[in-house]
Amino acid sequence: MIVTKYEGNKTFSVSEEEAMAPLAGEVQIKVAYCGICGTDVHIYHGMMDQRVAMPQTIGHEMSGEISALGEGVSYLKIGDKVVVRPLDNRGELPSDKGISHICKNLKFIGIDSPGAMQQYWNVPAFTIHKLQESTDLKLAALIEPLAVACHDVRLSGLTAGETAVVLGGGPIGMLVAFVAKSQGAQVIISEVNPVRINMAKSWGFDVVSPVETDLVAYVDGKTEGRLADVVFEVAGVQPALDVMTEVAGIRGRIVMVAIHGQPKPVSLFKFFWKELKLIGARVYEPEDYETAIDLITKNELPFAELITDVQPLSKIQNAFEQNDLNPNGMKVMLDCQS
Amino acid sequence: MIVTKYEGNKTFSVSEEEAMAPLAGEVQIKVAYCGICGTDVHIYHGMMDQRVAMPQTIGHEMSGEISALGEGVSYLKIGDKVVVRPLDNRGELPSDKGISHICKNLKFIGIDSPGAMQQYWNVPAFTIHKLQESTDLKLAALIEPLAVACHDVRLSGLTAGETAVVLGGGPIGMLVAFVAKSQGAQVIISEVNPVRINMAKSWGFDVVSPVETDLVAYVDGKTEGRLADVVFEVAGVQPALDVMTEVAGIRGRIVMVAIHGQPKPVSLFKFFWKELKLIGARVYEPEDYETAIDLITKNELPFAELITDVQPLSKIQNAFEQNDLNPNGMKVMLDCQS
């Protein structure tokens, strides 16, 4: 089987190896597709070399079919279409208070242990979510990032009729916008890239370029002064942090989706003055996976258009290099059987 | 009657004026006591001169008795012991979504209109909360700041058995600690002033000086690694902002009580990583007043010891000057009938 490994220094190796039989409690998956996540790009750029044990197979936004069952796995069968929720919480402690998905000793499969960018992948059976027979496996590789979006929206407490402002229209921002809209919210996306702006408009979204339009005045006008009920900070840049507390209305909730590596200036006064809430949101819980699976199964949203490129697994080096050169692209996927 | 007015430039005037009859919908209160709030000190220091229309009578942490009723006020009677919830929300808009206590056009009585540092005070009747006949009016002047604390604790969602860390043991921090403890929480106070540390210890609190002890390690040890369920940021300084995201455990809630005038660096990464919540809390709602009144009426907590000085209203200038010179003091009150 084809196995790819991140070797450090912006380099992937591609080799032919023998597929290993799954251990007890594991399943072997014939991987269909694996998306390139922002985290994978971070790893490729060497920004997580202290965490990733090189050489390492990475990747976690995947879909596939069960190809072998380890001892004791009876509720799955060969040929089942599946996705993996790549969270290994076996090191959970009482001090985690049962909040398994972000427990202190959480291992993220595909970062802290081998990932899906290979033809066959062995994972603990408890990570599996089963799909319906009819599910499109290319779309199914969007379930993992879509589950992130479902988690973000769920933790925001968004209700139908509320106004959600999404700061940043990259893949996660777009998925958050889709989920928020699917739950009946009025969605406004703030994005600077003209290609992404047009993409979002083509999907029926209200999009503002904050460089050209005063976002706060725009949202104020669209909401009769109520401003945003929920703000999703998905941009990861200081101007987004500056505007998030302005564009949120009284008792607005701001969901922190972006990863800000360093402490950044935040207007705590606005939190006090308008009784805002900041809600940290990380990965997902099983119910978010089920919501995402449901959305992909129904396939009523233009998910397919989010996939802007598919490359063969054997061309992983080229795929990451091309991805860096194309800031307009949304989701690049690897076809793991070619 | 004695009327005091802030004249700017750290100066109060004291004059004798005719008491005015209350207008329709108003009541006249014979003010018993009025505490000096941090906001009053800010005004005295000239930091709110742009907002305060000088000369202005300030003060809002008060207690008193109804001395006259304006036309149409039938549910109160002369002699009733009362406190005022000094929020004038008559400019409320639909865009405030019914969140009256922090509505956009809120006027704070005692800052934006005349306050309680005078012998007789006319206020709209809708601001009144009635006290029981037996209530001690000196303690009752603590109801306003205590209502702030009740609001902070209520918005935190604190439940019995949880661990609350209070950053800053000034008057509001101490009241937050009392309220949290009264609701069954394990409370740890972080404070640097040795006099305040001893005061808090004398009231049975677990107190840490973060200069001498590693607060995070201390709370970790006290909670078997769970860390704080709720953190109250009442200190208003950068070290508190640095530690709040460290001392909060997984899905911990951080209540922003302090007023940070400028944007300050915050570890948004910790919000993401531990799914923390930041909750802005400002003033109070009617139910917080009722909770505070109940605590003062029961008088089971050492509230009296929080009042470290009482000065006659006519000596207001001296009271503010002495207050500045005594960083160890807690609550200084004016006796408004002398």
Cβ neighbours of A269 in B, within 8 Å: 259-263
Q: Considering only alpha carbons, which residue of chain A is nearest residue B99?
A: A250
Q: Considering only alpha carbons, which residue of chain A is nearest residue B222?
A: A95
Model confidence over A196-220: pLDDT tens digits? 999 999 999 999 999 999 999 999 9
Is residue A327 over pLDDT 90?
no
Give dist(CA B85, CA B289) in Å, integer.
8
pLDDT-based confidence at residue B327 (cuts at 50, 70, 90): confident
Is residue B328 over pLDDT 90?
no
Cβ separation A264–B266 shorter than 8 A:
yes
Residue-level pLDDT at A47: 95
pLDDT-based confidence at residue A338 (cuts at 50, 70, 90): confident
From the list A42, A101, A129, A260, the catalytic residue is A42
Model confidence over A256-290: pLDDT tens digits? 999 999 999 999 999 999 999 999 999 999 999 99
Is residue A329 over pLDDT 90?
no
Would you say B169 and B295 are in contact if contact means Cβ atoms under 8 Å apart?
Answer: no
Is residue B158 over pLDDT 90?
yes
DSSP label of A211: T
Cβ separation B155–A223 shorter than 8 A:
no
CA distance B36 to chain A (A): 21
Q: Residue B34: beta bridge partners?
A: B62, B334
Model confidence over A153-186: pLDDT tens digits? 999 999 999 999 999 999 999 999 999 999 999 9
Mean pLDDT of chain A: 97
Give dist(CA A146, CA A154) in Å, integer.
12
Is residue A74 over pLDDT 90?
yes
pLDDT-based confidence at residue A11 (cuts at 50, 70, 90): very high
Q: Any CB–CB contact under 8 A between A257 and chain B?
A: yes
B39 is catalytic: yes
* Residue B309 burial class via C-beta count within 10 angstroms: exposed 0-12, middle 13-18, buried 19 and up: middle
Question: Of chain A residues 204-223, which have a CB less than 8 A from chain B?
Answer: 223
Residue-level pLDDT at A52: 97
Q: A13-22 contacts: CB < 8 A, separation 24 or more?
A: A13/A55, A14/A313, A14/A314, A14/A316, A14/A317, A19/A119, A19/A120, A20/A122, A21/A68, A21/A70, A22/A68, A22/A69, A22/A70, A22/A73, A22/A122
How many other CB atoms sit within 10 Å of the CB of residue A80?
18
Question: Of chain A residues 85-104, which have a CB less than 8 A from chain B?
Answer: 93-97, 99, 102-104
* Residue B42 burial class via C-beta count within 10 angstroms: exposed 0-12, middle 13-18, buried 19 and up: middle
How many other CB atoms sit within 10 Å of the CB of residue A73?
19
Residue-level pLDDT at A223: 98
| Probe site for chain B from A269, A276, A282 (most B CB atoms < 10 A) | A269
DSSP label of B315: G
Which of B99, B259, B278 is closest, CB to CB, to A277? B278
Model confidence over B272-298: pLDDT tens digits? 999 999 999 999 999 999 999 999 999
**Average confidence (pLDDT) over A21-37:** 98
Q: Residue B254: beta bridge partners?
A: B231, B278
A26-35 and A11-16 as β-strands: parallel, antiparallel, unpaired? unpaired
CA distance B68 to chain A (A): 35
Q: Which tokens go with B135?
A: 């209530």
Backbone angles phi, psi at B331, to 5 degrees: -105, 120
Would you say A171 and A145 are in contact if contact means Cβ atoms under 8 Å apart?
Answer: yes
Model confidence over B208-238: pLDDT tens digits? 999 999 999 999 999 999 999 999 999 999 9
Residue-level pLDDT at B338: 87
* CB contact burial A199-235 (16+ within 10 A = b; e otherwise): bbeebebbbbbbeeeebbebbbebbeebbbbbbbbbb
CA distances from A209 to A5, A190, A221, A277, B105 (A): 39, 6, 16, 25, 30
Residue-level pLDDT at A143: 98
Give dist(CA A125, CA A122) in Å, integer.
9
From the list A4, A39, A163, A245, the catalytic residue is A39
Residue-level pLDDT at A177: 98
Give dist(CA A276, CA B152) in Å, integer.
13
Would you say A200 and A265 are in contact if contact means Cβ atoms under 8 Å apart?
Answer: no
Q: Any CB–CB contact under 8 A between A247 and chain B?
A: no
pLDDT-based confidence at residue B44 (cuts at 50, 70, 90): very high
Is the preceding peptide bond at A312 cis, omega within 30 degrees of 0? no
Q: Which tokens go with B2?
A: 């004695």
* Residue B156 burial class via C-beta count within 10 angstroms: exposed 0-12, middle 13-18, buried 19 and up: buried
Cβ separation A155–B275 shorter than 8 A:
yes
Contacts of B298 (CB under 8 A, 6+ apart): none
Backbone angles phi, psi at A289, to 5 degrees: -60, -40
Helices B238-247 and B215-222: crossing angle in degrees, nearest 10, is 30
Predicted complex ipTM: 0.97
CA distance A134 to chain B (A): 35
Give dist(CA B304, CA B302) in Å, integer.
5
pLDDT-based confidence at residue B329 (cuts at 50, 70, 90): confident
Q: Which tokens go with B173?
A: 């921090």
Residue-level pLDDT at A137: 98
Domains parsed from chain A with CATH numbers = 2-136+299-335 (3.90.180.10), 149-280 (3.40.50.720)
Share of chain B above pLDDT 70, in %: 100
* Cα angle, residue B193 at apex, residues B165 and B331 outer, rounded to 5°: 85
